[in-house]
């Protein structure tokens, strides 16, 4: 049995929402209702309380402001029905001025919205842009159908039949529940961020990696039931604090520190995912004091570099390697060039898969989309994931879970 929150907004189609609640109850689920004040003009409190046998949560003066946190905490699925043009705009913009939008914003449960409105409002560029935004964030939008509208007109914008809404929403719930236990009992180590190799106490050799993709993979693996340890190199504390509860974090700075921490962690792991951008070289000697510019001398200091250990190859070819090893390669160039490099790296590193990550001004590093090709050990492309860091992470974690499952057969 799952806990489902049905959010009802102020459209005339709200009279169909009780059927959605009933269908979810018939499927054996526990249902709570969060309603906007406007929606009560169409379906009143007594109706909701009679159907659910519990108070309906409404955004009215005098009502506590913590209900949305509690509903968000217990929700396994949120269904917004009907979703008016106004509520779609609120959800897309992240507003939180009614109990429905508050609950959605505070929850990490899957969200299904069923829009209903006049045709002109549905087809308006602003509404379509809001729908695209929600879909890009992973919200499941059930398109309205064509037919008679509450205004007396006819056209697209009619709420689909409530039985269909419930059926599609419950399918989303089932898929989410299946994914949420895909890595149950598995231990994963994820390296993330960029190493910094000290030149002196204030300077270092580094790179632009933010660690966002690695943290997204760690989050997706945790949500899939895995036990996750992150080896974090120079990642902002705010990003680390957003990781799911239970994810263990080990902070490191340099490549040598990452090597030691990773080798220690993988001894008990089922999978290693090395997203970290590890420096290939480090200064042979780091100055113990700040290197100062001598105004009387035009010469510049020479910094001699030496190679850092290849952590991925060392673990990939060791007897202690975990059953699954995934490496990352951030590359620039043409498709042919980066694929050739990725195939070469896959052959050399001893990894089961290499994630070939195209990077550039608008792709790859930082809070920008990713474009990843997944290569197997022979260099053959076995998957491609394009989109936000979270979308890419979800795809990769699903592939990893399937691979680990195949090892048990």
pLDDT at 367: 56
**Dihedral angle computed from the Cα positions of residues 323, 324, 325 and 329, in that order, rounded to the nearest 10 degrees:** 160
Q: 373, 356 in Cβ contact below 8 A?
A: yes
- What whole-number distance in Å separates Cα of residue 214 and Cα of residue 232? 9
- What whole-number distance in Å separates Cα of residue 381 and Cα of residue 354? 9
* Strand 305-307 with 324-331, pairing: unpaired
pLDDT at 68: 57
With H, G, I as helix, E, B as strand and everything else as coil, classify residue 32: strand
- What whole-number distance in Å separates Cα of residue 154 and Cα of residue 232? 56
What is the DSSP track for 164-196?
Answer: HHHHHHHHHHHHHHHHTTTTTT-EEEEEEEB--
Six token digits for residue 237 = 């504390």
Six token digits for residue 312 = 């991925």
| Type and span of the H or E element at 218 | helix 212-223
pLDDT at 62: 46
Q: Among the residues of 53-161, which ranges form H helices?
A: 67-74, 85-93, 99-106, 119-123, 125-136
Q: 231, 263 in Cβ contact below 8 A?
A: no
| Type and span of the H or E element at 326 | strand 324-331
Q: Count the helix, strand and coil residues of the chain and give each as a percent rounded to the nearest 5.
A: 40, 25, 35
| C-alpha triplet 28, 29, 33: angle, nearest 5° | 140
Detail the residues annotated as belonging to a binding site.
280, 290, 309-312, 328, 345, 349
pLDDT at 67: 57
Output b/e per residue, 103-133; b: 16+ Cβ within 10 A.
bbebbebbbbbbbbbbbebbeeeebeebbee
Instruction: Give the tens place of pLDDT for each residue, 254-293.
Output: 999 999 999 999 998 999 999 999 999 999 999 888 888 8
Six token digits for residue 392 = 């890419």
CA proximity to 321, closest of 374, 277, 272, 274: 272
- What whole-number distance in Å separates Cα of residue 74 and Cα of residue 58? 17
| pTM across the whole model | 0.65
pLDDT at 409: 58
Q: How far is CA 26 from CA 100, 145, 153, 167, in A?
A: 23, 25, 34, 11
Detail the residues annotated as belonging to a binding site for CTP.
280, 290, 309-312, 328, 345, 349
Q: 146, 122 in Cβ contact below 8 A?
A: no
Q: 295, 242 in Cβ contact below 8 A?
A: no
Walk me through the domains of the chain, giving residue ranges and CATH numbers: 3-181 (3.40.50.1950), 187-287+302-407 (3.40.50.10300)
- What whole-number distance in Å separates Cα of residue 246 and Cα of residue 173? 23
- CA 194, 198, 199, 201 torsion-angle sign: positive
- What whole-number distance in Å separates Cα of residue 132 and Cα of residue 121? 15
- Per-residue pLDDT tens, the chain, 409 aa: give them: 799 999 999 999 999 999 999 999 999 999 999 999 999 999 999 999 999 999 999 865 444 445 557 888 899 999 999 999 999 999 999 998 899 999 999 898 999 999 999 999 999 999 999 999 999 888 999 999 988 776 677 788 899 999 999 999 999 998 888 777 889 899 999 999 999 999 999 999 999 889 999 999 999 999 899 999 999 999 999 999 989 989 999 999 999 999 999 999 999 899 999 999 999 999 999 988 888 887 877 778 889 999 999 999 999 999 889 999 999 987 777 777 888 888 888 888 899 999 998 765 444 444 567 889 999 988 889 999 888 888 899 899 999 999 999 987 5
pLDDT at 363: 45
- CA 126, 128, 134, 136 torsion-angle sign: negative
pLDDT at 66: 59
Instruction: Report the catalytic residues.
Output: 207
Q: How far is CA 91 from CA 94, 135, 147, in A?
A: 5, 11, 26
Q: 34, 21 in Cβ contact below 8 A?
A: no
């Amino acid at each position: 049995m799952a806990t489902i929150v049905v959010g009802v907004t102020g459209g005339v189609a709200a009279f169909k929402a009780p059927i959605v609640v009933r269908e979810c109850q018939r499927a054996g689920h526990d249902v709570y209702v969060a309603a906007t004040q406007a929606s009560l003009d169409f379906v009143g409190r007594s109706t909701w309380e009679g159907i659910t046998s519990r108070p309906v949560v409404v955004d009215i003066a005098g009502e506590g402001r913590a209900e949305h946190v509690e509903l968000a905490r217990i929700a396994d699925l949120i269904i917004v029905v009907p979703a008016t043009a106004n509520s779609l705009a609120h959800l897309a913009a992240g507003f939180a001025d009614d109990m429905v939008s508050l609950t959605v914003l505070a929850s990490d449960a899957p969200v299904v919205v069923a829009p209903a409105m006049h045709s002109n409002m549905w087809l308006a560029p602003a509404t379509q842009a809001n729908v695209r935004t929600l879909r890009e964030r992973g919200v499941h939008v059930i398109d309205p159908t064509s037919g008679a509208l509450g205004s007396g007109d006819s056209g697209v914008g009619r709420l689909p039949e409530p039985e269909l809404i419930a059926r599609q929403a419950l399918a989303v719930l089932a898929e989410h529940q299946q994914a949420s236990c895909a890595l149950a009992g598995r231990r994963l180590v994820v390296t993330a961020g960029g190493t910094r190799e000290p030149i002196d106490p204030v300077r270092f050799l580094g790179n632009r990696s933010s660690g966002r993709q690695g943290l997204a993979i760690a989050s997706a693996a945790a949500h899939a039931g895995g036990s996750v340890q992150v080896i974090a190199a120079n990642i902002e504390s705010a990003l680390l604090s957003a990781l799911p509860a239970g994810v263990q974090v080990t902070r490191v700075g340099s490549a040598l520190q990452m090597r030691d921490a990773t080798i220690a962690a993988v001894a008990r792991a089922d999978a290693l995912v090395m997203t970290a951008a590890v420096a290939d070289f480090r200064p042979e000697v780091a100055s113990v004091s700040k290197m100062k510019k001598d105004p009387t001398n035009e010469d510049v200091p020479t910094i001699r570099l030496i190679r850092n250990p290849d952590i991925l190859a060392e673990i990939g070819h060791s007897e202690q390697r975990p059953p699954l090893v995934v490496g990352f390669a951030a590359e620039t160039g043409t498709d042919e060039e980066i694929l050739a490099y990725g195939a070469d790296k896959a052959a050399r590193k001893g990894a089961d898969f290499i994630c070939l990550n195209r990077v550039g001004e608008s792709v790859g590093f930082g809070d920008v989309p990713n474009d990843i090709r997944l290569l197997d050990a022979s260099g053959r492309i076995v998957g491609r994931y394009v989109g936000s860091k979270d979308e890419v992470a979800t795809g990769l974690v699903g592939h990893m879970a399937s691979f680990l499952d195949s090892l048990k057969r």
